[in-house]
Structure formats: C-alpha cells, structure tokens
C-alpha cells in the first residue's frame, strides 16, 4: 500500500498507513493499534511495552513508537456499544492490554489481499468493522425501529446537526427519555454523542469538499474553528489539520 487511508464514521476513526510517532498524549477514544510489520512500542507511566496488537483505554496518557512501520489505528468512542464492551472484556483490570493473536491474524489475513489488489476503500472499512464486532462480541441491530431510522436520516443532513433531544423526540412522538433509551439500544451509541459525531463528520465532509476549517466548523454547528479543533483533539489526541495533511485518501461514512 502506497497511500494512507483515513476513515471516519459515527463512533470510529480509522487510519491505515505508515506511522507517525507521537509524543505523550491522551484522548477520550479507546485506541487499538495493530502493526502489519514489526512490534509497536507503547510507553506509559515510564514503562516501555512491545505489542503486535494493543488496546489502550480512554483518557490514558501514552506514547506510541512504530518506527515507520505500516499499521492500523482504530479510535472508538468509549460510550458506543462496541466501546463499552471492549472496556469490559479487555480493560477492566488494565489500562493497556494485548489483543488476542488469533483474532488479529484473521483480520490481517482478510485485509492484506485488499491492500495488495488496490481495492476500493469500502471493503477495507467493512472488514475493520467486522473485526471490531467479532472482537467485542457485538452485532448491529438487524431490525431497527422506524422512528430511529427517521431520526438517523434527519441527523445526516448538515443543517440538522445541531438539533436538540426535545426537537428530535417530538419529531417521532416519543418522550425524550424514551428516545434516549431506544436510540442507545438500537444504534449502539447515546443520541447526544451521536449528534456530536454527526457534527464532526459533517465538518470533515465540508473540508473534504474544499472549504476551509472555519467555514466547515460553522456550517456543521460549531461556534468557531477553535471549538471544532478542541472537540476533535479531545477525541483523537491530534488536531484535524495534522491528520488531514498526512492522508491522501479520505473517506467519511455518516451512518
């Protein structure tokens, strides 16, 4: 693979490419790092640990050294269904843990032919999501409530990214409390967090389409560019400009 890939979707940020080593940082997202080549060094609390595949808890200060190897980086919202399950299974006793080799090898076996054959981005993204579902032992809801489908369609529209819970619940004739419960149950992420993710994705899509960060932030409902930058950096540990300038193929999935 010659070009890095960068995917954004509701609850996820996925990067695949050559590594950019980081200084000590922390972010709200749970992080999974998988090397396609040599081991990754993770530095935390003064200790240096080596992993082929590692999961790091949210808000945990750490530093990664990947020595310019190709690696897969997955950031996951800790309040999502997959995020809460990963915390329970792998991070209940540790802040940083190795991932099962068998599941990781299965992912790499499925992914490497896609990279060699230069397939479109969608199969790679879907392969990673399938890996996360298997790793966390979760499945997407097969039969989604029509009212939740309507809410999702509304939130995908750029002009609706700032809608409040009360407006959304009135739209589908549910109480705010019932909407919050049903949305989390069916979508796998709380509705307030989904709205925030939708606004981030909308801003990114505007940037992909050629707008500058200030214009994109305002269009997506952020008060200004610094507000968007702070929100983005708190979730991912890096500013959006650094990620965007280091990635040549970028795909946003507003789901």
* Boundary (domain end) residue, out of 117, 136, 155: 136
Q: Is 245 part of any domain?
A: no
Q: Which domain holds residue 150?
A: 146-238
Would you say residue 180 lies in a domain? yes
Do both 85 and 115 map to the same domain?
yes
Q: Whole-angstrom Cα distance, residue 168 to residue 222? A: 19
Same-domain check for residues 74 and 174: no
Q: What is the pTM of this model?
A: 0.82
Give the residue from 86, 107, 136 where a domain finishes: 136
One-character DSSP codes across the chain: --S-EEEEETTEEEEEEE-----SB--SSEEEEEESSSPEEEEETTEEEEESEEEE-TT--BEEE-TT-EEEEEEE-TTSHHHHHHHHHHSSS-SEEEPPHHHHHHHHHHHHHHHHTT--HHHHHHHHHHHHHHHHT----SS--HHHHHHHHHHTSGGGTT--HHHHHHHTT--HHHHHHHHHHHHSS-HHHHHHHHHHHHHHHHHHTT--HHHHHHHTT-SSHHHHHHHHHHHHSS-HHHHHHT-SEEEEE--
244 lies in some domain: no
Q: Say if CB 25 and CB 62 are below 8 A apart.
A: yes
- The answer to whether residues 124 and 162 belong to one domain is no
Residue corresponding to tokens 């992909």: 208
Cα-based distances in Å from 255 to 1, 27, 137, 191, 231: 27, 23, 20, 13, 20
182 with 231, same domain: the answer is yes
User: Within this chain, do residues 74 and 154 fall inside the same structural domain, yes or no?
Assistant: no
Q: Domain count for the chain, please give it.
A: 2
In tens digits, the chain (255 residues) has pLDDT values of 556 788 888 888 888 887 665 666 777 889 999 998 888 888 888 888 999 999 999 888 888 887 778 889 899 999 888 999 999 999 998 899 999 989 899 999 998 888 887 667 788 888 999 999 999 988 765 578 999 999 988 887 766 556 789 999 999 999 999 999 999 988 888 998 888 888 888 888 888 788 889 999 998 889 899 999 999 888 877 778 776 665 554 555 555
Q: For residues 63 and 5, what is the distance between their CA atoms, to the nearest angstrom? A: 22
Closest CA to 70 of 113, 22, 5, 17: 17
Structure-token match 């808000």, residue found: 59
What's the pLDDT score for residue 106? 92
Q: What is the CATH number of the domain that holds 173?
A: 1.10.10.60
| Strand 249-253 versus strand 5-9 pairing type | parallel
- pLDDT attached to residue 183: 92
- CATH code, domain carrying 115: 2.60.120.10
Say how far apart CA 148 and CA 108 lie, in whole Å. Answer: 34
221, part of any domain? yes
Query: Is residue 41 situated within a structural domain?
Result: yes
pLDDT at 120: 73
Q: Is residue 21 part of a domain?
A: yes
Please choose, from the candidates 62, 51, 70, the residue with its C-alpha nearest in 3D space to the C-alpha of residue 29: 62
Chain-centre distance for alpha carbon 89: 19
- Return the pLDDT at 243: 67
Indicate whether 76 and 110 sit together in one domain. yes
255 within domain boundaries: no
What's the CA gap between 225 and 206, in Å, rounded? 13
């Amino acid at each position: 693979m010659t070009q890095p890939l960068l995917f954004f979707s509701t609850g996820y940020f996925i990067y695949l490419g050559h590594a950019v080593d980081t200084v000590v940082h922390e972010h709200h997202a749970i992080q999974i790092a998988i090397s396609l080549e040599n081991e990754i060094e993770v530095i935390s609390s003064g200790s240096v640990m080596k992993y082929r595949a590692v999961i790091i808890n949210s808000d945990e200060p750490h530093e990664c050294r990947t020595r310019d190897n190709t690696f897969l980086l997955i950031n996951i919202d800790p309040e999502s269904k997959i995020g809460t399950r990963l915390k329970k299974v792998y991070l209940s006793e540790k802040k940083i843990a190795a991932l099962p080799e068998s599941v990781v090898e299965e992912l790499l076996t499925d992914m490497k032919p896609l990279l060699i054959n230069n397939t479109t981005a969608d199969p790679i993204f879907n392969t990673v999501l399938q890996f996360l579902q298997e790793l966390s032992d979760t499945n997407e809801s097969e039969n989604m409530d029509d009212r939740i489908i309507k809410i999702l369609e509304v939130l995908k529209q750029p002009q609706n990214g700032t809608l409040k819970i009360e407006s959304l619940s009135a739209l589908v004739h549910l109480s705010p409390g019932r909407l919050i419960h049903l949305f989390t149950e069916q979508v796998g992420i709380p509705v307030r967090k989904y709205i925030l993710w939708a606004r981030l994705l909308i801003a990114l899509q505007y940037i992909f389409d050629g707008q500058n960060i200030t214009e994109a932030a305002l269009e997506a409902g952020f008060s200004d560019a610094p507000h968007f930058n702070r929100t983005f950096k708190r979730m991912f540990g890096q500013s959006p400009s650094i990620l965007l300038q280091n990635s040549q193929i970028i795909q946003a999935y507003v789901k």
